[in-house]
Structure 1
Amino acid sequence: MSRNRSAREDVQRAETVRLPYADRTEAGRVLAERLVPLGLEGAPVLALPRGGVPVGYEVARRLGSRLDVLVTRKIGYPPQPELGVGAITEGGAPVFDGGLLARLGLTEDDLAATVAAERAELDRRVGVYRRGRELPDVAGRPVIVVDDGLATGGTARAAVRAMRERGPSRLVLAVPVGAAETVGALEAEVDEMVVPAAPWEFRAVGQWYRDFEQLTDADVTAWLDRARRSGEGPV
């Protein structure tokens, strides 16, 4: 999806994608083919761990790009942690859903302890996944941010805002499937969106995959090591 097409037109086009995907590998290959015509060969691919990494691997392989991670963490509503009220990304400030905070009667200050805990976990994962490497320098270059799907879009929004601050020449968000409403809401955050399937009835990302196993830190590092061995991983 890109800004010069309406969300409705893209959803109609996306209906030709056969869902559910078999797994993240198949989804990544479908996504990669949609990216090929955009002239992004060699652009860094930053995948949101954990689930975005196998998707990003296929994208990087097809485009001849380097794969790395962009670590994000959801900020959950303390009484119900699965309800995301914001997100943080390495190198970026917390991004909150202001409307949801208002409905819950919360302020950003009320979530200071939650943010601190999630920041600590984010830093732990950066250490495990990145092994002392810095984020790739994307200033003046195109960059592709990849995840395995968009539900509410909170972590993706935090990720692309953090990347925008680094000054890429072209910021692309690419996911195999996303809620149509969320896809439309995120268009203004990026230069281009590539979303092969954007269903209107959307409960969770996992419903659009036959195999949607939860990945571990070891899985993420294994995918990155695999990319490195093939010449498409972080340096």
Structure 2
Amino acid sequence: MIYVFVFAHPDDESMFFLPTIRSLIDGGKTVWLLCLTTGNYDRLGKIREKEMTEVGKMLGISKVIIRDNNDNMQDHPTERWNKTVNHDNQYVLITFDALGISGHVNHIDTYYGVSTAVETKEEKTQILEAWQLESEGNLVCKYIPVLSWILLMISFFNTKIITSTSTKDTPKNKNSIRVYRMHNPVLNWKAMAMHHSQFVWYRRLFVVFSCYTYYNKLTLISRIAAELRSNNTKSIKEK
């Protein structure tokens, strides 16, 4: 089984997904990165490709795939997926949610592309399941993650108290929520700093203060999609 992180720009992996990436690698999982654009808006695409490749090596990523799909990221997601992967393997996809963390249109397009690929249910896609990184709606929690800082300080004195990975199941959402925590946030800074062309002052602040440096909360896309369809059906019946 291969865990594939699907995102829009080189550096998204370092800004948003590192707690999950690091946790999976620490657990002996095979991790790939699939970036759907080169980030060539400022004509720095080639530089950003090289930066992301180096970050992948540093993190121990098994494979880094960068596709130049800058024009339209939602076109034929299943076809694009089929051209990218080896269908002898099985895959778990991890991507943004429908809010795209920061509301960036490319992040949102990536989510819809992945969810469409999952909903096709074609056997040849070999997608076992897909997870979305939940956007934090509360700005205080998003940029002042006090609880994460407290847990981090505690971990300095007792490393057994906090681990890379934890899961959260509830009776209603059994196995549909996963929380991954980062106990070495210095790695986030190191990874983001390797994206030299993008490591401007506000991204440096983001690495320090963003909740995504310290934890990721993932929800199962197929479960969310099913609930949305169910709610829509109920609304239609009520009308």
TM-score (norm: length of structure 1): 0.28
User: Which of the two has greater helix per residue?
Assistant: 2
Larger C-alpha radius of gyration, 1 or 2? 2
Higher-RCO chain (CA-CA 8 Å, sequence separation at least 6): 1
